[in-house]
Chain A
Amino acid sequence: AIQLTQSPSSLSASVGDRVTITCRSSQGVKNDLGWYQQKPGKAPKLLIYTTSFLQSGVPSRFSGSGSGTYFTLTISSLQPEDFATYYCLQDYDYPLTFGPGTKVEIK
Chain B
Amino acid sequence: QVQLQESGPGLVKPSETLSLSCTISGGSISTYYWTWIRQFPGKGLEWIGYIYYTGNTKHNPSLNDRVTISLDTSNNHFSLKLSSVTAADTAVYYCARRVAVRPVYSFDIWGQGTMVTVSS
Name A's B-contacting residues (CB within 8 A): 1, 31-32, 34, 36, 42-46, 49-50, 53, 55, 85, 87, 89, 91, 94-98, 100-101
9 contacts between A and B (CB under 8 A): A32-B105, A36-B107, A89-B107, A91-B105, A91-B106, A97-B47, A98-B46, A101-B44, A101-B45
Contact (A34, B106) CB under 8 Å given A91-B100, A94-B58, A100-B44: yes
Query: 10 shortest A-B CB distances, which residue pairs?
Result: A49-B106, A43-B110, A91-B105, A98-B45, A96-B47, A95-B60, A50-B103, A34-B106, A46-B106, A46-B108
* B residues near A101, Cβ cutoff 8 Å: 43-45
Question: Which residue of chain B has its CB nearest to the CB of A87?
Answer: B45
* B105 contacts A50, C-beta separation under 8 Å: yes
With contacts defined as CB atoms under 8 Å apart, how many contacts are there between chain A and chain B in the complex? 57
Cross-chain contact A43 with B94 (CB below 8 angstroms): yes
Shortest distance from the beta carbon of A57 to any chain B beta carbon, whole Å: 11
Q: What is the minimal beta-carbon distance from A98 to any residue of chain B, in angstroms?
A: 4
Interface on chain A toward B: helix, strand, loop, or mixed SS?
Answer: loop
| Contact (Cβ within 8 A) A43 B58 | no
Besides A34-B105, A94-B60, A101-B45, 8 more A-B contacts (Cβ < 8 Å) are: A1-B62, A43-B94, A44-B45, A55-B106, A87-B45, A89-B107, A91-B105, A95-B62
CA distance A91 to B104 in the complex (A): 10
In the bound complex, residues from chain B placing their C-beta under 8 Å from that of A91 are 100, 105-106
Q: Is B112 among interface residues, defined by CB-CB distance under 8 A?
A: yes
B31 to A: closest C-beta gap in Å: 16
